[in-house]
Amino acid sequence: MGQAIYGFVGLGNMGRPMALNILRAGHDLVVHDPNDDAVAELVRAGARHASSVAELGAEADAVFLSLPTPEVVRQVCLGDGGLSAAKRTRIIVDLSTTGSETEAQVAAGLAAKGKILVDCPVSGGVSGAEAGRLALMAAGEAEAVEALRPVLELLGKLFVVGTEPGMGQSMKVINNLMSTTALTISSEALVLGVKCGLDPDRMIEVLNAGSGRNSATERKIPDNVLPRSFDFGFAIGLSAKDARLCIEEAERRGVDMKVGRAVQQVLNATRDTLGADADLTTVIKLVEAQAGVEVRGAAAGEGK
């Protein structure tokens, strides 16, 4: 796209580091977010601030979105003052987890205005976003994806999974439900182990050397649960939303996900008990409360 000007809408836990990686690579970046502090950090790093989506759309050739819910994506793209009416923007890249149904609807609405949506959700958490090591699952017009490949590859490894917007979303919600399933069963297993008198640090060592190893035992539990920090950086409310999107997709496709629905129930219960902003890794707290034990590693010390 030559000397393109890029836009970025949504500077939360994931969007902020992704936008910074684009900026640090020397690209001209315009940003928008209702959080003034998030905007200020990007401006200090060299970005320009747009006071509205419409203003951003008048400046940027391509716009990246990292937004919390499908409803917000729909509003930013198709609502009053949204990107569908943008004077300059031609390509919109949705890095959010929006769900395939909404993504297809948004793509159709943008196409009616002569704009292209690249469906490109990401996985890898805040640490992956900061390090530029996310997995990006892109679906959309091949020409648009290839034009943006150099910028997308600043964020991580790009996987083209299809040509129709919505296919990337399907891949993402499947990935996320598998990840939260691993966390949920691993949390239950650690609580059971502690109840049996096993040391949780040693349990993690054994599991990671054996067939029980998974993404939760490798990272989330040793890094965020055993120290009792619960700071993975992804809200349980968003995780419950992602599970809902996956189960809805399965129901539309006629796939009976019994295990997936059970995990969704655990995520919903954690959200409803601890609040939507609680960290994803706090799912273990409900199991601990029922069992009357705490999974505390040596890194947590003796305090509460």
- Degrees, nearest 5: CA angle 297-227-21: 140
Nearest to 62 by CA among 175, 140, 131: 140
Q: Which residue has the tokens 């239950």?
A: 188
Asked about 220 being catalytic, the answer comes back as no
| Among 115, 172, 220, 285, the one annotated catalytic | 172
Cα distance between residue 213 and residue 166, in whole Å: 31
Active site residues: 172
